């Protein structure tokens, strides 16, 4: 993930499990997936960002 | 280059009750934290926030509070003990953010009118903060018999040993905040072994 401010590659430091909230997340979770929030911070300018991802283990 | 800019560690005053004694405790801790070098802080009073009740969680996120949590490197949460638990509105506010808290430090200040110093509200909050992605430090601050602990006129602590305990708490919180900032910036998750 690149920094939305300076474009540098961000440091991916966490994957926090969270509850599914969208129908697609709920479907994928019911199939054995796990919903996470990926947390990133820019080592150049300190911007923090995150995105929701569903990991699939099936 | 490591980010050596000042840490931002706000103090959240976690009750909206009229006549709340926790405000004195929050102001005492905030005053002491503001003297700490290389730390910026402010008092966030949940009573001054727009507390929506027409939804819950991140659906009712307050942009100003979310921006403060995004900027924060650590948090001090001042919580009175109401019937052994944290105030419901404090939980309501904390639940409005998630990504903003991840891998950031948190320290809890428990406040009670009785002798236990908010010990039970601290225990009550620990699993909540962990679930939010915060990293709790092992020092707490306990304000037991809060009416006696802080001078009503001056707002000063009546026992100077309490100031020393608060400094210990802040020192640990600053260390954890600095370390976690470095980790967020520089230490990536290890890839899964093949």
Assess whether pLDDT exceeds 60 at residue A58: no
Distance from CA of A17 to the nearest CA of B (A): 9
Q: Tell me, yes or no, whether B194 lies in a domain.
A: no
Q: Examine the pLDDT at A46 and tell me if it is beyond 60.
A: yes
Residues 6+ apart with CB under 8 A from B163: B32, B157
CATH of the domain at B21: 3.40.50.360
Residue A25 Cα to chain centre, angstroms:
13
Q: Give a yes or no: residue B190 inside a domain.
A: no
ipTM, two decimals, is: 0.84
Tokens of B99: 């990504």
> Helices (H) and strands (E) in chain A — how many of each?
1, 3
Mean pLDDT, to the nearest integer, of A20-44?
Answer: 94
Determine if residue B192 is left, alpha or beta; phi over 0 gives left, psi from -120 to 50 gives alpha, anything else beta: beta
Q: Rounded to the nearest 5°, which phi and psi values hold at B15?
A: -150, 150
Any domain includes B27? yes
Is the per-residue pLDDT at B21 higher than 90? Answer: yes
Sign of the dihedral through C-alpha B101, B102, B108, B112: positive
- Of residues A42, A52, A30, A36, the one with CA closest to residue A2: A42
Structural domain of residue B134, as residue ranges? 7-184
Per-residue pLDDT reduced to its tens digit, B93-135: 999 999 999 999 999 999 999 999 999 999 999 999 999 999 9
DSSP label at residue B117: T
What span, in angstroms and rounded, lies between the C-alpha atoms of B88 and B61? 16
Query: With contact defined as beta carbons under 8 Å apart, do B159 and B117 qualify?
Result: no
Nearest by CB to A37, from B70, B98, B183: name it: B98
Residue B14 has pLDDT above 80, yes or no: yes
Residue B71 within a domain: yes
CB atoms within 10 A of CB B5: 11
Contacts of B146 (CB under 8 A, 6+ apart): B21, B22, B24, B25, B111, B112, B113
Q: What is the mean pLDDT of residues A12-40?
A: 94
Model pLDDT for residues B63-85, shown as the tens digit of each residue? 999 999 999 999 999 999 999 99
Q: Is residue B131 part of a domain?
A: yes
Structure tokens at B87: 């105030």
- Contact: A14, B103; criterion CB under 8 Å: yes
pLDDT band at B2 (very low <50, low <70, confident <90, very high): low
pTM as predicted: 0.93
Nearest by CB: B184 against A15, A16, A41: A41
> A18, B98: Cβ pair inside 8 Å?
yes
Give the count of domains, chain B: 1
CA distance to partner chain B, nearest, from residue A23 (Å): 16
CA distance A58 to chain B (A): 16
User: What pLDDT score was predicted for residue B135?
Assistant: 98
B84 lies in some domain: yes
Q: Contacts of residue B185 in chain A, CB cutoff 8 Å?
A: 11, 13, 41-43, 46
Residue A25 distance to chain B (closest CA, Å): 16
- pLDDT per residue as tens digits for the range B144-194: 999 999 998 999 999 999 999 999 999 999 999 999 999 999 999 998 888
* Among candidates A11, A15, A37 on the partner chain, residue whose Cβ is nearest the Cβ of B184: A11
CB spacing of B102 vs A18 below 8 angstroms = no
Cβ <8 Å between A48 and B100: yes
Strand pairing class (B104-111; B141-143): parallel
Tell me the CA distances in angstroms from B149 to B24, B36, B144, B155, B178, one per residue in order. Answer: 10, 22, 7, 9, 30
Q: pLDDT at position B1, please? A: 63
Q: Is residue B120 part of a domain?
A: yes
Tell me the C-alpha distance between B170 and B98, whole Å.
23
Instruction: Quickly state the pLDDT bin for B44 (edges 50, 70, 90).
Output: very high
In-domain check, residue B191: no
């Amino acid at each position: 993930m690149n920094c939305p401010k300076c474009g540098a590659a961000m440091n991916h430091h966490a994957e926090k499990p969270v509850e599914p909230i969208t129908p697609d997340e709920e479907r994928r979770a019911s199939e054995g997936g796990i919903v996470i929030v990926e947390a990133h911070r820019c080592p150049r300018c300190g911007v923090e960002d995150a995105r929701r991802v569903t990991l699939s283990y099936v | 280059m490591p980010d050596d800019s000042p840490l931002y560690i706000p103090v959240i005053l976690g009750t909206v009750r009229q006549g709340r004694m926790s405000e004195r405790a929050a102001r005492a801790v905030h005053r002491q934290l503001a003297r700490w070098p290389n730390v910026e802080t402010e008092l966030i009073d949940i009573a001054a926030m727009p507390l929506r009740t027409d939804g819950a969680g991140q659906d009712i996120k307050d942009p100003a509070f979310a921006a403060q949590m995004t900027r924060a490197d650590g948090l001090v949460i001042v919580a009175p003990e109401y019937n052994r638990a944290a105030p419901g509105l404090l939980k309501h506010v904390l639940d409005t953010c998630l990504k903003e808290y991840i891998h950031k430090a948190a320290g809890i200040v428990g406040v009670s009118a009785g002798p236990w110093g908010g010990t039970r509200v601290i225990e009550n909050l620990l699993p909540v903060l962990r679930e939010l992605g915060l990293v709790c430090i092992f020092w707490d601050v306990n304000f037991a018999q809060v009416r006696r602990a802080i001078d009503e006129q001056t707002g000063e602590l009546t026992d100077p040993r309490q100031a020393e305990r608060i400094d210990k708490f802040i020192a640990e919180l600053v260390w954890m905040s600095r370390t976690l900032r470095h980790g967020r910036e520089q230490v990536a998750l290890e890839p899964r072994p093949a």
